[in-house]
Structures are given as C-alpha cells and as structure tokens.
C-alpha cells in the first residue's frame, strides 16, 4: 500500500503537538510550535526518504540513520546561527569602540 | 589649561583601558587552517560515502581510517582554540558514535556495501553537515 505523505505528515504534526502537551505542560504551545517548525525544516528530506523506504531503495535502519542526520543538521545549524550572531555582535562592538576612540582622539 | 589637558589624557587612558576590556571578543576569530581542514574533510567524507555502494567496508578501511584521523585532528585543533566552543560542539557531533557519520560507517560495516540511494543520501547529508562547520568558520571576524 502506497504511503500517503500528506496524511503521514499530518499525523506527525498531531503527534508533535501531543508530545509537547505531555512533556511541557506550561510551555506546550511554544514547544509545539518549535516541534512543528522542525518538522517543516526536514519535510522535503522526510518525504524523499519515506518514498525511498517504500520503494525498497533504503532499509528501515538506513532510514533511521538519515533521520539522525537531519537531527544533527538542525543542531549544527543552530550552532552556526549562534556563532554568526556572536561574531556580528563582536564586530559591532569593535566598530563602536573604534568610532569612540577616533572621536575622543580627534578632540584632545 | 595644563590641568585640563592632563585630565583629558587620564580620561583617555582610562577610557582606552575600559574599551579594551569591553572589546574582548566572545567568539574566536576566523582561522584559515580550520577553514581548510573543514573544506578538505567535506570532500573526503563525501567521497567516502559515495564509494560505499561500490567498495566494501573492508576494502575501503584504509581510506576510512585516513579520513577519520583527519576528522579527529580537526576536532582536536578546534577544541584547542580559545573561544571556539561552538565549532567544537559541531565537531563533537561529527565524531560521536551515536550521531550520523559514525552510524553511517557502522551500517556500511555491517552491510558490507551500501545501496546506491543510501550512499547518495549519506553523501549529501555529510555535505550539508560540513557546510555548517564551513559557514560558521567563514562567518567569524577576520583578524585585523
């Protein structure tokens, strides 16, 4: 039987919301929103891997490994974004202090 | 008048000192060697994944060991750099036994050879993961 990806994705979204309610009672809506956002991030890959699994091109074990790859990618991407934000803040601080230094020097 | 100039100079030195302390960076500066390591690893690791459908794990073992040593070197190099915890965490994901790359190698080992679709998917995923390391390094501020 062919997998209906739309239906599968809808099921996953419901499962994410239920999991968020169960695990994060006070922050359920934020957790559900984060979880749904993650699902959308991996949607294209998930669709392809699911199709490959259905077609017998990859094994269930390989499917699991590819999902681990997507989890890793989300984590590494978050680290990249955090690092780029720190670098931008450092650059801004340096520019501000250079500007102040030049201004003070010019009036002394 | 001299007193005013002297006060101004004191203010200037105090200000400069405060500025230097405040300007201490929060993340390491760009490092050309780290960038080269990451780009080189991306090519080597992707090639390794691509050949996993045509070469058995045992036959590819010397290549796998070589790439893994380079990966370990890159991890250790990044770990040793000051203010470089984010890049180090990225390498920790790459070298971890529980995460994608090592899980891929384990699967290759147990299967002998991978199938073509998985080899292609794994190579693509490795490329995306290393792109994150490269993007972070490239986005760090360049030394003056």
Q: Which of B7, B109, B128, B26 is nearest to B60 (CA)?
A: B109
Binning pLDDT at 50, 70 and 90, where does residue B11 land? low
A 35-54: CB under 8 A from B? 48-49, 52
Query: Is the minimum CB–CB distance between A65 and chain B shorter than 8 Å?
Result: yes
Q: Which of B68, B63, B95, B125 is nearest to A62 (CA)?
A: B125
Nearest-10 Cα torsion for A75, B37, B45, B72: -80
pLDDT at B21: 60
Q: Which of A91, A92, A84, A77 is nearest to B137 (CA)?
A: A84
Kindly tell me if the per-residue pLDDT of B87 is higher than 70. Answer: yes
The answer to whether the Cβ–Cβ distance between A57 and B117 falls below 8 Å is yes
Q: Which of A80, A78, A73 is nearest to B126 (CA)?
A: A73
Which of B100, B122, B136 is nearest residue A79 as measured by Cβ atoms?
B136
Kindly tell me if the per-residue pLDDT of B97 is higher than 60. Answer: yes
Query: Is the minimum CB–CB distance between B64 and chain A shorter than 8 Å?
Result: no
What would the pLDDT profile of B50-83 be if each residue is shown by its tens digit? 999 999 999 999 999 999 999 999 999 999 999 9
Sequence-distant (6+) residues with CB within 8 A of A43 are A9
Sort out which chain B residues have CB atoms less than 8 A from A66's CB and list them: 118, 121-122, 125
Interface mutation vs chain A, best among B91, B132, B142, most A CBs within 10 Å: B132
Q: How far apart are CA B90 and CA B107, in angstroms?
A: 22
Prediction ipTM score: 0.86
Two structure tokens written together for A26:
């006070």
Q: Is the dihedral of CA B46, B47, B52, B54 positive or negative?
A: positive
Kindly tell me if the per-residue pLDDT of A22 is higher than 90. Answer: no
Rg of chain B over Cα atoms, rounded to whole angstroms, equals 23
Rg of chain A over Cα atoms, rounded to whole angstroms, equals 23
The answer to whether the Cβ–Cβ distance between A49 and B121 falls below 8 Å is yes
Using an 8 Å Cβ cutoff, are A66 and A49 in contact? yes
Burial A56-87 (b: 16+ CB within 10 A, else e): ebbbeebbebbebbbebbebbbebbeebbebb
Q: Which of A32-36, B1-5, B21-25, B91-95 has the lowest mean pLDDT?
A: B1-5
Domains of chain B by residue range: 26-139
Whole-model pTM: value is 0.85
Q: Which of B2-6, B23-27, B36-40, B97-101 has the lowest mean pLDDT?
A: B2-6
Average pLDDT on B82-96 reads 98
Q: Is the dihedral of CA A98, A99, A101, A105 positive or negative?
A: positive
pLDDT at B37: 98
Sort out which chain A residues have CB atoms less than 8 A from B129's CB and list them: 69, 72-73, 76
Q: In this complex, how many residue pairs, one in chain A and one in chain B, have their CB atoms less than 8 Å apart?
A: 110
Q: What does chain A come to in residues?
A: 108
pLDDT at B143: 93
pLDDT at A87: 96
């Amino acid at each position: 039987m062919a997998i209906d990806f739309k239906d599968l994705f809808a099921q996953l979204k419901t499962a994410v919301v239920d999991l968020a309610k169960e695990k994060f009672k006070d922050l359920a809506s934020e957790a559900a929103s984060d979880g749904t956002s993650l699902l959308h991030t991996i949607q294209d890959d998930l669709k392809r891997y699911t199709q490959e699994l259905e077609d017998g091109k990859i094994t269930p074990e390989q499917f699991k490994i590819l999902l681990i790859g997507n989890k890793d990618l989300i984590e590494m991407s978050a680290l990249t974004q955090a690092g780029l934000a720190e670098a931008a803040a450092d650059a801004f601080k340096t520019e501000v202090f250079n500007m102040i230094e030049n201004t003070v020097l010019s009036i002394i | 008048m001299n007193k005013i100039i002297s006060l101004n100079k004191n203010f200037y030195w105090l200000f400069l000192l405060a500025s230097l302390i405040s300007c201490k960076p929060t993340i390491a500066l760009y490092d050309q060697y780290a960038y080269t390591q990451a780009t080189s690893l991306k090519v080597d690791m992707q090639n390794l994944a691509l050949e996993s459908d045509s070469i058995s794990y045992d036959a590819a073992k010397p290549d796998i060991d070589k790439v893994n040593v380079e990966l370990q070197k890159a991890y250790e190099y990044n770990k040793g750099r000051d203010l470089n915890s984010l890049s180090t965490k990225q390498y920790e994901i790459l070298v971890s036994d529980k995460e994608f790359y090592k899980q891929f190698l384990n699967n290759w080992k147990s299967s002998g050879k991978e199938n073509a679709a998985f080899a292609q998917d794994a190579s693509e995923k490795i490329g995306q993961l290393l792109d994150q390391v490269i993007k972070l390094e490239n986005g760090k501020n360049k030394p003056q």
